[in-house]
Amino acid sequence: METAIIGGGIGGLVTALYLQQQGDIVTVYERKEKLGGRLSFLQKDGYKVDEGPTIVLLPDMIKDILKEINIPLEKINLVKIDPMYPIHYRDGTTLMKWSNVKKQIEELERFFPNEVEQFKVYLQNMEERFSKGKSAFLEKSFVEDSFWTKENVKTLIQLKAYQTVRAQVNAYFTSEKLRDAFSLQTLYIGGAPQQTPAIYSLVPYSEHAHGIWYLNGGYATLVEILVSEMKKRNIKIERNSEVTEINAHEKNAYSLVVNGVEKKYGRFILNGDLPVARKLVKEKKQRKYVSSSGALLIYLGVKGKLTTGHVHQFFMGDALKNVMDNIFIQKQIPTNPAYYVFYPSLIDETLAPEGHGVAYVLVPVPANVNINREDYEVCAQHILKDMEKRLDENIMNKIVWKEIRTPHDAKQDRLFEGGAFGLAPTLFQSGVFRPQLKPFSYDNIYAVGASVHPGGGVPIVMQGAKLLAEYLSREKREVLKNEHK
């Protein structure tokens, strides 16, 4: 089978390696020079910093998939980060989050002694829910399998998926600070804690159960490893190749148009934000979707060291609920936003010239291109001033270069409505309600990526590629079986 994968993001690359193992002849088309999609580097004057994802979660899922596509695990060097990160509140309080449960309990005893027992109950309950949620949702596609089985409905009730993440966390903790600390992780996937279904409570639990990690050389090193392996296996990669159309007759697509040239294939896989990528397919019925939050990104090259001992940290702004309402309901930039700082040069000297480093700041903002770019840049200056007070009083003098990216840039990069994380993780855009790996009426057009089930985040997108490969393998076996009848 000759297969065209349209888009060279992490989902497309992993899918290509799986399908090559199944005997397919695979070509990946990427409209840009750079591969990896969100998972790529910003490189400038000898500095290198991850553009998108930075926190490595679910390391065993990543490793298991790499083993399945025969990539030696010694090629990736994962470093556990523990303590994971401090959360700095505006009143000057700092709560340290630990993967190590004993140390997390010690930290809670210092600040929230009355909450310790409930933390233990939280971990116990979430351990059971993670196991059930993983097998019921992360490890299944819902193209051929019925979602509404008795077992799945039972699991949904046990996971309390009818609640929001915030409501579920509120049932365990009474302190607003602790509630923030165990619900802000929905921002990793572009959702508000008070709008995101409780199945995503498994994300903060996973930090304690599986840790958070750093991939030496930067997270986008994973893309370099995959691309190197693809070249060894003679998988064709066509860069600077823009696919503008997929041609179909009745139920089957038969060709694509790339850089103005028509090319024929037996199978087509879209790897991109689905609401944008689906424009290639002539489908009459078009479902409406809601985008995730946007991200104001500030990339920094710095001279010397920043005065911090942490790779990851969160700085809280006004009350988290108010900040989330600003972003998701009023669609405006908060007056005092929360933000995240990534400083990999603390533990990785390969990212910048000697004596220098890189940092990255992410500010959740509305995916609203009606907000002027200038307003986003004013917000960026406000954040840097805040970092001067709360992180490093000399940061302005240490900055060698900076680059700012806004939802305007994200939309130009064909991220849906300028959102940074694909579809918003709302109830009706999750699980069976999310676009599935075969989202169209055509028999041979498929999809993979952050906007497709099981969802966003590097390991989850890789899991989506695995689900797609397994589905295509079953489909191929069915065809062969029918041919021999």
| Residues designated as active site | 207
Pick from 190, 198, 124: which is nearest to 167 by CA?
A: 198
- Separation CA 410–CA 52 (nearest Å): 11
Find where tokens 């709560």 sit: 95
Structural tokens at position 147: 């979602």
Start-to-end CA span in the chain (Å): 21
Dihedral over alpha carbons 71, 26, 436, 213 (to 10 degrees): 20
DSSP state, residue 220: T
HEC sequence for 89-104: CCCCCEEEECCCHHHH
For strands 312-315 and 85-88, give the pairing.
Answer: parallel
Angle between helices 221-232 and 10-21 (to 10 degrees): 30
Place of tokens 């003679």: 234
Show the DSSP H helices in 332-420 as ranges.
Answer: 373-390, 395-398, 407-412
HEC states along 6-39? Answer: ECCEHHHHHHHHHHHHCCCEEEEECCCCCCECCC
Give the integer Cα–Cα distance in Å for 293 and 165: 16
CA dihedral (167, 173, 176, 177) in degrees, to 10, reads -120
User: Is 196 within 8 Å of 229 (Cβ atoms)?
Assistant: no
Looking at the DSSP assignment, which residues form a beta bridge with residue 9?
Answer: 36
